[in-house]
Chains A and B, each alone.
Chain A
Amino acid sequence: MKKPIIELKDVWKIYRMGETDVEALKGISISINEDEFASIQGPSGSGKSTLMHLVGCLDLPTKGHVFLDGHDISKLTESQLATIRGKRIGFVFQAFNLIPTLTAMENVMLPMIFNNVSRWKREKTATELLMEMGLKERMNHKPNQLSGGEQQRVAIARALANDPEVILADEPTGNLDSTTGKHIMDLIRHLSKEHKKTIIMVTHDPYIASFAKKKVVIVDGKVGHDHEYLKKILWKSNHEDKKGNPKGGKK
């Protein structure tokens, strides 16, 4: 049986906003196994972003425990968390988040600089990853010289730079057209199948979520169970913004 790589046990996250406490997560317990392809779905305000931050070791829970590979990370310092993130988690963001002044190559090498990898190894790894992402001709281009799809492929190469166990993708296709989005999803599926990475993908798009084997739905800071209710909420969140206006007008 596969062992869990990420495990949340009765996790609470409470933000203090002015005079009131906002409970973003209310006692969430989930477990994601090694090599699993999981999606976290939920409408905006459901707490899925907060959940992603905890899973990505970007933040610590107010109550409860987060285990990464069996180790409780809930009591670590920011620098210890940073080192763990650098070595064991690769991030893919909706807005790509490449460093605009660096070339594709340099962007992919950056996590390895923080991880004290030798220059020679950095160049070799970055070159291999960019070639795997089909960006052989694009290595010395800056982000603004690349298309959205190409930028996201650079970001995926960057996420793989330190060979982490977990890839955390936050709406990876959110800024892409559907064809390009499909290509990116194929790449992510490739990471899961060929690289045996654990993939945790946050999305509100049911089509994108359908690539995942395991689906976690978050509603109102809890793991959701009611299938029909969820379907309704997810449909709503896909077609309307928070105030109930049809989507597309703004954002």
Chain B
Amino acid sequence: MIKDFAMLSISTFKARKMRSLLTMMGIFIGVALLVTLVSLGRGLEDSITQQFESLGTDKIYVFPGTNMFSAAISDQTFSESEFNALEKIKGVKLAAGMVFRIGRIEYNDEVKYVSIVGIPLDEKREVFKSVHNMKVEQGRDLKNGDKYKALAGIDLTLKDIVFSKGLRPGDKVIVEGQDFDVAGALARIGNPDDDSMLLIPLGTARELFNQEDSYGYILLQAQEGALPKAIAESAEKKLRSIRNLDEGDENFSIQTTDDLMETFADILAIVQAVLLGLAAISLIVGGIGIMNTMYTAIIERTRQIGVMKAIGATNWHIALIFQIESGLLGLAGGIVGVLIGMGIGKLIEFAAHSANLTFFNVSFPLWLIVGALSFSTILGIVSGVLPSMQAAKMKPIDALRYE
């Protein structure tokens, strides 16, 4: 019987194409929004987790400034003595210090400003390279004894991205007025900032930027078995005592991989909650749309309800007919919404990939699709309850008389 009533509803939708479409639109906009947001959120979460896991959870990051985002533009640095103090903390396997600036590069008569990063040349550089996912793809790596040698991010070597003619290992570039040889180039890292940087030896960078005895950023690696969290705490205490600061007045920030992951997860959760709230509101509006359409349909089909009652439909039959109709509107809206949502998600993924954010992938878990479809169907059914009850309660003679 349900199947027969569903056929009846579908025949009605066909006769009222525009109205059915508009009603469904109220639902599918909400569902599409929901599916897009959740899939993007999941994709972001997955890729962030993946990125951080590839960094390893034994790293501790020490930045000047109050948060890691201000580090790149901060004038503040860490002194050699601070660096040494951090290196001596119990449980620290090694400490690596870096210097970075936005600097002027000249190549082939073109001038560009990119991130210039000074990295240590001893074994510490491996930690730095692994954390930042750097692999030398062309030419050779920097080695001990290099002075005016540089490693180029992949975007610097490509045509028309930074320079109109990409640079090659062996080429000469002028950095802040100083001639450098390009020793090698990195493989793609996956974000445009890192992919357009230029790596130079730490000592050279310090000379170039007048930052003798200072570091722009320090990376600590914990020994096996040592807790990164505990190291971070002692590092904070130590820096505070060196700088004579009270707790809460820190002008630096220390974070473990877990902290970073949490920070991102928190931000993501807030953003997602706000957006999902909006999606929920739009779904409620969609539900009201279904209710409105059902009331209209019932008034319009009052006579039909009377006829159906005359030929043997019970109140329950009538309620079921309209309930199925509103449920189907919800389900159809859900299906279209899921498809559109997945389409938008994939489009954003494609756009992200085109912008070289290759680590970003959307995901559509089964629970999301099943959940979205069930939710929209239930929304349709719930929105149809009151109209269906009204239809069921109509007296056959009143309904038949209705013109």
Contact = CB atoms under 8 A, between A and B. Distances in A.
A58 B8 contact: no
Interface string A59-76: 100000000000000000
Contacts of B310: 56, 58, 85, 91
Contacts of B314: 78-79, 82-83, 114
A100 B16 CA distance: 12
Given A93-B307, A113-B4, A58 B312 contact: no
Nearest to A78: B315
B396 interface: yes
Contacts of B1: 113, 116
Given A82-B309, A114-B311, A99 B304 contact: yes
Given A58-B397, A101-B14, A101-B15, A85 B8 contact: no
A53 to B, nearest CB: 5
B400 interface: yes
B307 A99 contact: yes
Contact of B312 (A101, A102, A162): A162
Contact of A58 (B12, B308, B315, B400): B400
Interface string A11-50: 0000000000000000000000000000000000000000
A55 to B, nearest CB: 12
Interface string A175-203: 00000000000000000000000000000
Contacts, number: 80
A16 to B, nearest CB: 14
Contacts of A102: 8, 11
Nearest to B313: A114
A110 interface: yes
Contact of B311 (A85, A100, A101): A85
A221 to B, nearest CB: 16
Dominant SS at the B interface?
helix
B315 A82 contact: yes
B8 to A, nearest CB: 7
B312 A115 contact: yes
A97 B1 CA distance: 22
Contact of B313 (A59, A86, A87): A86
Given A85-B310, A86-B312, A91-B311, A58 B317 contact: no
Contacts of B317: 82, 114
A161 B311 CA distance: 10
A153 interface: no
Contacts of B101: none
Interface of B: 1, 4-5, 7-8, 11-12, 14-15, 303-304, 307-317, 395-397, 400
Among all A-B residue pairs, the 3 with the closest Cβ atoms? A86-B312, A114-B312, A101-B11
